[in-house]
A = this chain, B = another copy of it.
Amino acid sequence: MLIDGLPTEQIPVADRGLQYGDGLFETIAVLKGRMPLWSRHMARLQRGEEQLGFPLTDKHLLEQEAGQLCEGLGQGIVKIILTRGSGGRGYRPPSDPQPRRIITRHPWPDYPEAWYRDGVRIRLCETRFSRQPRLAGIKHLNRLEQVLARSEWDDPGFAEGLMCDDLGNLISGTQSNLFLLMGRSLVTPELNDCGVAGVMRELVMASAASLGLEVRVGPIRPEDLERADGMFLTNAIWGVCPVSEASGVVYDLTRLSGIPVSHRLITETLFE
């Protein structure tokens, strides 16, 4: 672990990340010792810095520090937390904030191979996203809604839970974005009011044309799950994860043929 470049594992209680969730994070896949989606992660981090009014962190410095932690890590996870640092009076940010860089390294989680072969079962959560355009899309540290949603089930038979906003539109999973396959279109929810704009979601959207698919961004209602030909979830660690059953609706996985599941999409796009 590195905090502001130094090997330590603790932060001061005065850090605004703890006090108010005043910060951002990125969870980055390390594959074959590299971070293939690095620039997309950094672009989102920077959108977050701009939206929260942080001074911009030197992304080369972050890359150097993350790279230092990656050394000898063939496959794993690097997590970056960037807080507004310490100080300020109450909610008011300091006039000259010194953001704190916290970079941690984690083993690759062993998700079952069956997820990618047979698809995952997912449920619909009761906890909803509130709508806050000022915070939508970015990956900030105010994550109680997802914590509450993820607390709703224990059954390991469900890999993920879908969350709606307060208008009843499907937004995302607790930790993943969602795509419906409808004919030759991929449909994914708009994230202007809530949710996190995932880097794998971006990569799928950028790669769709080369797979012969068009992408539509628009509202999805839970009823629409029945009209879809197929469904998959994305995040930086899962890659593209096919769904076999969503809230009782069963999908035929063969309909997703042609869409590279697991990390093949990243691999094909970036390591060829």
Contacts and interface: CB of A to CB of B under 8 A. Distances in A.
Interface of A: 1, 3, 9-13, 15-22, 25, 52-53, 81, 83, 89-93, 95, 102, 104, 109, 127-128, 130-132, 134-135, 140-151, 154, 166, 174-175, 194
Given A21-B141, A81-B19, A12 B13 contact: no
A93 B151 contact: yes
24 contacts: A9-B12, A9-B13, A10-B10, A10-B12, A11-B13, A11-B18, A13-B104, A15-B18, A17-B18, A18-B83, A21-B144, A53-B151, A90-B175, A91-B147, A91-B150, A93-B150, A93-B151, A127-B134, A130-B130, A131-B131, A134-B148, A141-B144, A142-B142, A142-B144
B18 A141 contact: yes
A91 B146 contact: yes
A148 B90 contact: no
A19 B160 CA distance: 20
Contacts of A149: 91
A165 to B, nearest CB: 10
B135 A145 contact: yes
